Amino acid sequence: MTVLPRRPFLALLGTAPLAAGCAATGLIARTPPRIFRLDAARALDEGLPKVDAVLLIETPTAVAGLNSARVALKPEPSTLDFYADALWVDVVPVMVQQLVGETLAFSDKVGIVGPADATGGQRPTHALNTYVLDFQAVYDEGTSSPPLVDLHLGLRLLAFPRREQVALTELRERERAGGTSLDEVIAAFDRAADHLLAELASWVLRSLAA
């Protein structure tokens, strides 16, 4: 699939006065981080079923290290670190929630609501509960080689009103970066997310239709 061009944004950094007792000769200059976003999947299976359901996309949960807007990496199997001066457009669970909702809404096969919409009067029939298990670049061949982007989600499909479990699965996509630069790593995240979101949409719709 075509990787859409990165759309970096510059985040404004606040400034603070110098500590008391020091001459306030100027402001502290800092390099603003680059902010990246991923894109929802658009190339979905045309044969997916259309279902008579309203799906609540719940905010995913994640371990503390991934419940952040920082772009995570693993330089070693037991170490989680972050790229300097690089941020996602939102914390990872919220970004995943938005990507899942956009992908399923684009399919036009199921009604989609978020938590705020559900409390505003539109009653969902089902909920998608997601756990972010992995969302990082893994330097499995050393930090001088292109990393392997690893995206891994645990998914539960629940039926209202009793939140009974309808289906349960884990989805995982890995994508090798084309090089070691940050832009090439983010492009690998985008490709992995595109495949993962398309697979997620297929699983959700087929599970609802079963």
- Helix then strand count (H, E) for the chain reads 3, 10
Phi, psi for 122 (deg, rounded to 5): -85, 115
pTM: 0.84
CA pair distance 113, 129, nearest whole angstrom: 13
Tell me, what's the pLDDT at 119? 56
| Cα Dmax for the chain | 70
CATH code, residues 9-209: 3.40.50.10610
The residue type at 42: R
Tokens encoding 109: 């096969």
User: How confident is the model over 165-181, as pLDDT tens digits?
Assistant: 999 999 999 999 999 99
Residue 19 reports pLDDT greater than 70? no
Boundaries of every domain in the chain: 9-209
